Structure 1
């Protein structure tokens, strides 16, 4: 009976993490897609489309600025008060903010206040996502059965492609409207629709127990007094390498799912519906491939799997751009899918890989700071940098491919560094065990050698 209950809570925690991250990433990708398609025209009108798009992507990047602070804040309280409370709070905040963006008046109505309010809401959105990721990973992995923690840690990562699918579907529907209707009210519908998954996600998360590892720590009074200070002081190496390891898994998505929309419609003159349809198919492929990648990594070893995937990812942008530039839908899907399957393999596995590089009482803080640091530096700026490169080298895709390869190489360095730190800890632990065994054996031998009394 206990085993059944434990399995039931494991499944429920994984489902709650998946539904919750799907709802939050739907909100996040809705903003990302809108920033590529429409927000520049609505909130930053200009005679120069490049300037409007750049301003729109700048607000997209602004949302990332709050994320390291948010990750540290929610990580701190998640390690002190529990994972579940933080997840409920971040989900509620995300839903309210996204609805607010959908109701925000345009520049033509309230002038400069429109972009000001947009930036404020975008920062709040970044704060919500900054606290969500780490808690979702921990609730799923710390509820997981023994031997399956790595796979269960990958399940919340599926919320990213699932949220993107819903977002792309929503925009596919509204972009079928005429341009005037789309600019005036159509683009708001995907934001307003984000309130529905919020309700579902909140209901499921209320039914999940607190993480058993946190409950045990609390019972044994092993809760850290100042988690942020402790993790920054004693585990800063892990934070830096973990942040680097997640680079392509984070920035790569914004490259292939946000920047590519702008690139295809602006420089290749593709219809919006064509690139959105192609990305929809690519995201279905990603959603299917991620759990397969996690299962494969469990079989061959996470470090080996991640290293191979990072090396392969460095070579994927070249065939991707060659196929995208053909303009043929099948070729576009194949090209982007190749890059996305590889980078999503890293994204799926690296969560669990970095989670267990930190001790339980500092885990929420450690992984949140690392991930949000990476997302802020690499993820938020990727569409912006890509737009600048594309504008400067118009008609040339090779500089964009080099940029993608560079992001992959950063992940490779981080994965190798984190693997070395983890193996070093294992080596030290084995040495301590060997020393203890040797000492115990020596004592036993000494007892046997003593002559019996009397």
Structure 2
């Protein structure tokens, strides 16, 4: 079945929007690994400054669940599209303002305070961005190809990772004095321009047919977070656990590994950042492949495979990285991306969308996922602390990642296969595709079902 013009616009809106918003989120992590310890926390020694910088990075994850609940509420009440426009502005403005901040030598302790406040704003916007984009895609996509089309939301996230890392890779070409004086600001200031691109694309996207039907039939709930937790308690817990492993993996590779490779192994910043770019490109190529595969064999098998691979490969990964040889470091990142990270994140958009009924989908999706992100978002900080216990050796970090894989394995094992569920149902039975009789009946409207299938 070929994509309709409207579906193509929705795919492009999700792809561009998530790419630019997650560019904003990822460049903070890269800056925290490379320069923030020297610019915003100069009372501390470099190692301690890096740990403190990673702590401010983790603050964004603490507030992401609040963003998921707040903007998820709006997404289930006023619409998916309108809410995404709001989050686009929040992310773009807060990121651009970081590029204008005075540093510690200029204003003292106010520098890290303002930096942390803007990181909080980033976290609020990011907490609703992915859930909204994925929900909009899933509700527009034809049922038999829902996994394939929804995977483009995650493709956008990885494009954001590559763009953000590449921006700092270009900054590294400058002389060191220029990097610390003004060069680090450029990736952040670019966000002011990118916000216009994201808004232009998103304003051309139509609202979800599922939400339009909810408005028509007046089945919108007053407090979506309450309904999401009470009606789908099992799925809500699954959603929390499911996002722990992939969060820990990506931020350990993209943030902790950069600091470890440059600070402990003596690799250049460019070598470490190029490895992250290769990791991101590998994942981008494989997203639609795994999304399409999930439409054939299901979401659950791919999720289970990916976390088992992470647990099995994480020690070999650090053995390869620990050599300090680029031709071993880069393949290690690409292998982890291809088999440990890409399968679960490609399936993630549709997996979460299918955990909840239409009335509370945005809120349930964003809140449960971002609670998982909050639990694992301090992975770079934890990695730095654990590595310090072994004089910089990464083996406790590897054990930590195995632990996150076990948690997500339990969540995926407890989940039910949902690839054949009816996503137009306002209140499907948790984990299944039938309409929940206690919801008042009539949860699946033939008109909206026909709209999605077309």
Same fold (TM over 0.5): yes
Count of residues in Structure 1 that have an aligned counterpart in Structure 2: 428
2: distance between equivalents of 1:66 and 1:431? 33
Structure 1 segment 52-201 matched on structure 2, within 5 A: 52-201=49-198
For residues 117-166 of structure 1, what are the alpha-carbon distances to aligned partners after superposition, in whole Å with 9 as ceiling and x for unaligned?
11111101111111211110011111112311122221110112101111
> CA contact under 8 A between 2:355 and 2:430: conserved in structure 1?
no
Give, in whole Å, the separation in 2 of the partners of 1:383 and 1:155: 26
1:297 Cα shift?
2.1
- TM-score norm. by structure 1 comes to 0.90
CA distance in 2, matches of 1:41, 1:264: 18
Contact kept, 8 Å, 1:238 with 1:421, in 2: the verdict is no
Larger Rg: 1
In the alignment, does 2:226 pair up with 1:229? yes
Aligned to 1:367: 365
What is the match of residue 349 of structure 1?
347
1:438 corresponds to? none
Question: Distance between the aligned counterparts of 2:72 and 2:164, measured in 1?
Answer: 28
> What are structure 2's unaligned runs of at least 5 residues?
422-428, 438-454
**What is the root-mean-square deviation in Å for CA atoms of aligned residues?**
2.0
Take 2:435 and 2:181, find their aligned partners in 1: how far apart are those partners? 65
Q: Which moved more, 1:233-242 or 1:99-108?
A: 233-242
Q: Give distance in 1, aligned partners of 2:89 and 2:63.
A: 17
Q: Would you say the 8 A contact 1:354–1:418 is kept in 2?
A: no
User: Is contact 2:232-2:430 (8 Å) kept?
Assistant: no
> Structure 1 residue 387: deviation in Å?
0.2
Considering fraction of residues, name the structure with more helix: 1
Select between 157-166 and 417-426 the one with higher mean Cα deviation: 417-426
Which position in structure 2 is the counterpart of 1:445?
Answer: none
1:337 equivalent among 331, 334, 341: 334
**Residues 427 and 9 from structure 1, CA distance in 2 versus in 1: closer, same or farther, beyond 3 angstroms?**
closer
Alignment of 1:237-252 (within 5 A): 237-252=234-249
Quick one: structure 1 residues 335 and 94, their matched pair in 2 at CA, closer, same or farther if it must change by over 3 Å? same
5+ residue gaps, structure 1, are 433-454
1:436 counterpart residue number = none
Q: Deviation per CA, 1:22-49, whole angstroms, max 9, x where unpaired?
A: 0011011110100000011101003511
SS at match of 2:143: coil
Instruction: Report the alpha carbon displacement of residue 85 of structure 1 after superposing the two structures with TM.
Output: 0.7
Give the Cα separation in 2 of the matches to 1:347 and 1:109.
Answer: 41
